[in-house]
Structures are given as C-alpha cells and as structure tokens.
A = this chain, B = another copy of it.
Amino acid sequence: MWGLDRESKKPLYQQIADHIERRISFGEFPPGSLLPSERKLAEQIGVNRSTVVQAFAELRSLGIIESRSGSGTRVSQFKWGASPKHTPNWNRYAQGGSFLPNLPFLRRIREALSQDPSLVDFASGELAADLAPTSEISEIMSSHQYASYLGYDNPQGYIPLRQALVRYLAEYRGLQATESSILITSGSQQSLFLITQCLLSPGDAVAIEDPSYYYSLPMFQSAGLRIFRLPVDQDGMRLEEIRGLYKKHRIKMIFTNPNFQNPTGTLLADERRHQLLQTASELGLPIIEDDPYSLTDYEGLPRMPLKSIDTSGSVIYIGSFSKIAASGLRIGWMVAPNSVVLRLADARQQMDFGLSVIPQQVAAQFLESDFFEPHLSRLRTNLMYKRDLLIEALRKELPGEIQFHIPKGGHHLWCKLSEPVNDAKLLEAAIRNGVVFVPGSVYGSDAGFVRFTFARAKSECIGQGIAGFARALHSLRN
C-alpha cells in the first residue's frame, strides 16, 4: 500500500503528484476520466487540501491532467489518450536521484550573472582576468611540444605533474610527499566530492567550520552526512566542542580551511593548530585540510599547512591552482595515505575516466617555469590592492553601517551589517543596482552577513559596485 513518507526529502505534494501519475499510468484513471476532488483526495491521504492543490498544479503543468472550472479535474486526452506517442516525463526525471540541487541563492546569482555580464561581481570566488597568468599560459602552450600520447591518463593523474607537485609541495608548503601519495583532481572541489562520496557512508557525522564554504555545498547532504559545526572566531575554528561531538555523535572527519578561510578570511592561530592535531591524533580522527588560499598571503609570509606539522598521519591535504593561478585549469590535488589515493582514483575512473592530460601538462610546465614566482608576487600585490579598494569604498559608502576584520590574504571580505535586513531582498535589490555578492546565510551564518569577493571584480569597478550595494541596502531601510 502506498503511503506518504514524511521523512523523505521529497516534498509531500511531489509524492502525491507522483502517486497520482502512477495510478494514471497503470490505467486506474483512463484518459478523459474524472479524478477525485482535491478535498476528497486530501481526506483520503490525510493532508491539507493545499498540498493536494499543489500536487494538481504540478500535474497540470506537466500536461497530465486538465481542470475546467465547474467540471472538475480530468486525465488529459492528449497525454494519455488514444495517440500512442508519449514523451518521457523528463521533468520528473530531472527531479530524481539523491543528488540535491545547488542552493537557490547560488543559482540566482549564476542566473543574474549570465543574464547581465555587466554586473559588478563580488560573488564568484575566483581571480579577475588581469590577475590570472593568461599570457604566461598562452606562451607555455604555444612554445611547448604537445606531441605526447593523448590516451586515457594514469588514474592518479599525469605523472610529470605529480612529480612537479612533489617539488612544489616541498618548496612552498613544507610537505614531504611522493608521487604515489598524490591524486590530481578537477580542482579541490572534486577532492571534496570524492572524500564525501567514497570515504564516508550515509549517516556518518562530520564537523565543519561555522560559517564555512562547505555549508554551501549540497554534496554533504547528498552523501547523507550529518553535519555539525564548530564556530569560527578571529583566530579561526574553535576547538572546544570537538571531543563532545566525537563522544556524542562519533564524528568521522573534520573539514577545515585553516588559511584565509572562505568566507571569513581568518587564519587558524598557531596554538590551535597544535591543539587540533593533538586532539585528532588522540581520537584517531581524520582532518581534511583544504588549503587553496595560503600562497596569497599579501606580505608573502609562508603560511604552512597543518599537514606540515602532522606527525600522526591524521591529515589529508588538498590544494588547488584555482585561487592562485586559474580556476579554468581545473587542477587540484590531494595528498593522502596510499590506500585512500588508490580507492579514490579507482572511483574517479568510474565517474569521468580522469582529467584531460592537456591542462595537466600546462600546469606542470607553469609550475616549473620562471613565470611562477613572479606571478605569485604580482598576484599578492594586486589582491591586496583590490582588498584596499574594497575597504575604502565600504568606508566611504557605508560608514558605521558595516563591520569587518581586515584579511591578510585570500579573496574574500566577510562583513556584518550593523542592522540586518532580509538576505533575499538585499540580493535582489543589489542585482537591480548592478552588483552581486553572496549572502552570509549561504555559508551557514545568520542573516546580516555578507561575503564580498574582491579578487574577481575589475579594480575600476569596485567603487561603483559598492555604491550600488549601498543604494540597495538603503532602499530596504526606507
């Protein structure tokens, strides 16, 4: 017997719509026949009438049923009638699967940007065209021979790139890695995806920072993980609750972004680093260290990873070129115990057969070229310049209305509005005023927080963008 599943992620009205469609397709209600009234169905099923109204609206929009005022709701002739042609119900398929869609705010921002590319973009977490090493990469591509074999790549990634990364990790990140402990992935994103899908099981508990980039990723929910949060203050993630979470919920991993955290820009303080590793090793608890921003330290200070002081093998380290070179290369890497690397390489092979060798060759050559070091120092200077432009504009346009700590690296400025307004309204007003940002709630914070990414916008547009944001904010206050 069919019944509603009130635990399911699928909304009730959708379950009812599915159920009715199934009954129609099984022939219970032939084409043209009258369906029970909304009230009657609501009673039968034990839901509010409004839920059935919604279910009927869904079925109507799919052309499965038709309502005429006064004569009730009937099964469409067109869809289920004598004509034997049925298009599959693609909309229904598109809603299937256990993989959740992106957050509505993120989809809205993407849509707004694609409709109006002239928006000042404080939302996309990536480098502006003038910060990416585009001409260097162009030069590398035109001056090298790419006559190597273009077959399926090694499951762990292109070997010369892994070799270049071994040298890079030793020189820049204080890490001793070997080729076989590295897995090349499509950005850090794919590393995170592989870890959440293949090392954890539905029902497992994990801890993330609060606020956190990971909060914006439905992949954690899609994998069926239970998410617990550790608050971030000026010194990064607070650690007090880890033991409690471990005892009570048996958390299986901690995800952290200790250097210039997305979205807060904070650095995890040194004592906390040692304490975190100590706790992890006492509990045998893995730490996933996601470290895309550390080389952007504006003063060029070496911000070493947790992994470089991890003596108990607790840390999986993730890096990426996205935030220091070009997100369009889609090159990230993971340093992990070999059993983990082999398992994830095998899984990734099934998902997409690995990365194209071409961007891996380009990345390896860029890393080993004389372009790399000068690019990094130029990048740091320019990022700091953009940060300062943003801060100047905020101080000018919104004095006393917005608070922030000044980040020493990274792409993002995390702001608190002195008087919170509704997130959705603020985003829509901003779009009307020519600018996009990411509402803090996307990262799990309360209303009234805003993430401005300063890396992406053109320098000459930052002032104008913040002026637009200020107009938007003020329009909601009046």
Contacts and interface: CB of A to CB of B under 8 A. Distances in A.
B193 A285 contact: no
* Number of identical monomers bound together in the oligomeric complex: 2
A192 to B, nearest CB: 9
A353 interface: yes
A286 B150 CA distance: 34
Interface stretch (A196-204, A232-240, A417-425): A196-204
Interface size class of A (residues with CB under 8 A): 35 or more
A107 interface: yes
Nearest to A336: B90
B87 A150 contact: no
Interface string A130-148: 0010110110011111111
A89 interface: yes
A356 B138 CA distance: 14
Interface string A331-355: 1000011011011001101111111
B138 A151 contact: no
A109 to B, nearest CB: 12
A33 interface: no
A304 interface: no
Contacts of A313: 87-88, 90
A353 B186 contact: yes
Contacts of A145: 138, 142
Contact of A85 (B144, B154, B198, B312): B312
A286 B88 contact: yes
Contacts of A217: 350
B328 A149 contact: yes
A330 B330 CA distance: 13
A36 interface: no
B97 A199 contact: yes
A99 B351 CA distance: 10
A464 B271 CA distance: 64
B150 A328 contact: yes
A281 B91 CA distance: 16
A473 to B, nearest CB: 27
A144 B185 CA distance: 27
Contacts of A110: 155
Interface in A69-97: 84-91, 93-97
Contacts of A339: 90-91, 94
B151 A129 contact: yes
A127 interface: yes
B99 A198 contact: yes
Contacts of A322: 152
A178 to B, nearest CB: 16
9 contacts: A86-B312, A93-B286, A110-B155, A132-B150, A141-B358, A186-B186, A186-B352, A187-B353, A218-B350
Interface of A: 25, 84-91, 93-99, 101-102, 107, 110, 114, 124, 126-127, 129, 132, 134-135, 137-138, 141-155, 185-187, 189-190, 193, 197-202, 204, 217-219, 222, 252, 280-286, 311-314, 322, 326-331, 336-337, 339-340, 342-343, 346-347, 349-359, 362
Complex A-B, nearest 4 residue pairs according to Cβ-Cβ distance, in ascending order: A86-B284, A150-B328, A186-B352, A150-B326
